[in-house]
Amino acid sequence: MLLYDTQSRIKYGLIKALEQKPLYDLKDLDVIKNAEVANATFYKYYANKIVLLKDVEASLLAELKKALAEDLKVWYHPKHSLSKKDIARLVENGLNNTLDFFDKYHQELLVLTSNNGDPVLRHTLVDVVNQRLVRILKYYFNIYEQEGMLAKKPKLFDYVAYRWSNEIIDDLLYWIINRSKMTFDDAKQCLSMSFTQSVYEIVTHGFN
């Protein structure tokens, strides 16, 4: 996290404080000490640690939404049924902004989704992805001329979209946890597998 101003220092103080103790034990004073600001300065910007937390998370979610919106534009380009290779190419070329987001904010995301952080944030990340993935999946259902199946089994469709969204977030969090030994290409490979291969296929046919 780059510290450009006082408010950024306070946000950084929250992340550093959460590295030391869980949110439910955290006091405003812990954030103030880690931010190295005066009490009056902290309360000039935030009423308490929860207001600060919500501001930090809102900023992150806004950035994620922008990254996804930019990335997913190319996912609407195909007008024909896609092969696994087509999907793999879309993952290769169509998630760069999202990967950049997770790389840029890896410290904040790892801390906030850890046991010390906000237990709701991971679910919120999934929801952000899910809202956009639902639209993408409906688009491809139409390409594959499977609108009838979609209409007959809406709950199953919702489940598939939600499961896929969870896998995407899990892949991205796994990558930033292991970013010292995993490259961008490794992250793309993991995402590609989630998009194109089931566990059954991987176990029975290998990583092809």
99 and 36 within one domain: no
194 and 172 within one domain: yes
Lowest mean pLDDT among 21-25, 41-45, 150-154, 198-202: 198-202
Exposure string of 73-100, with b = 16+ CB inside 10 Å and e = fewer, is eebeeeeeebeeeebbebbeebbebbbe
86 and 38 within one domain: no
State the CB neighbour count (10 A cutoff) for residue 208. 7
Domain residues for the domain of 130 are 56-205
Residue 37 maps to which CATH number? Answer: 1.10.10
Domain boundary among 13, 29, 47: 47
pLDDT at 51 over 80: yes
Whole-number average pLDDT of the chain: 89
Output the pTM of the full model.
Answer: 0.89
Interval 3-9 mean pLDDT: 83
Q: Which residue has the higher pLDDT, 151 or 175?
A: 175
Instruction: Please report where in the chains the tokens 């899990």 appear, as a residue.
Output: 170
Q: What is the pLDDT of residue 97?
A: 96
182 and 86 within one domain: yes
pLDDT in tens, 56-86: 999 999 999 999 999 988 888 877 777 788 8
158 and 193 within one domain: yes
pLDDT in tens, 90-103: 888 889 999 999 99
63 and 15 within one domain: no
**H, E, C per residue of 91-115:** HHHCCHHHHHHHHHCHHHHHHHCCC
Q: What is the pLDDT of residue 149?
A: 67
161 and 130 within one domain: yes
pLDDT at 202 over 60: no
Contact 177, 110 (CB under 8 A): yes
162 and 66 within one domain: yes
43 and 128 within one domain: no
CA distance 90 to 164: 16
The number of distinct structural domains making up the chain is: 2
170 and 118 within one domain: yes
pLDDT in tens, 104-157: 999 999 999 999 999 999 999 999 999 998 888 888 777 666 666 667 778 888
Q: What is the pLDDT of residue 2?
A: 47
